[in-house]
Amino acid sequence: MEERYREIYSEIYDARIGELTSSQRSETFMRLGRFSDELIPGVRSAISRSERLRDARDGARLREDAKALLAVNFQELVLVPLLAAERVPSNEIREAVSHDIQLLVSRAEASSAPAPEISGHRIIDSLSRNWGRLSLSSFNLWEDPDARSVDRPRWELR
């Protein structure tokens, strides 16, 4: 993992369950929260779009736990680190997030047929099965720098 992302994830962890005072925790949330404010509507929009597509063809409904899982994970573990690191333009992040939410939901639906609902469990299964298809992986957010190929990550090519 790139050191900058490691630092950001450490801050997120400490703010959530670390040994910070209440004021330190609030300060961290305020600072990190500003990074995701501009793109949170995009996460909500991508989830809503997935629901509308399913409704239009009488597909499986996206259950509340699945929506919460997508929202929390994309906002806290994708948007905040990518924006805080300031290595990827926000329009590219927005497109990747939209694509990946659609991908995960559609693949989760396909694997849960004929179930009437897509659960958070199905989303996690979909994530595991489709990890290599995620647009976000091109930003090297989670990859181990020692394990990747000799090709430079996409953000280094700028």
Ordered by start, the domain boundaries in the chain are: 3-157
For residue 79, what are the contacts with CB-CB under 8 A and spacing of at least 6? Answer: 35, 36, 39, 40, 43, 93, 97
Is pLDDT at 133 greater than 80 in this prediction?
A: yes
Across 115-141, average pLDDT: 91
Q: pLDDT at position 104, please?
A: 96
Q: 120 in the Ramachandran plot: left (φ > 0), alpha (ψ -120 to 50) or beta?
A: alpha
User: What tokens does 130 get?
Assistant: 């489709």
Residue 130 pLDDT class (50, 70, 90 cuts)? very high
Q: pLDDT at position 100, please?
A: 96
Long-range residue pairs from 90-95, CB within 8 A, at least 24 positions apart, any chain: 90/38, 90/39, 93/39, 93/139, 94/39, 94/42, 95/135
Give the Cα separation of 50 and 39 in Å (integer).
17
Residue 144 pLDDT class (50, 70, 90 cuts)? low
Please write the tens of the pLDDT for every residue from 80-92. Answer: 888 888 888 988 9
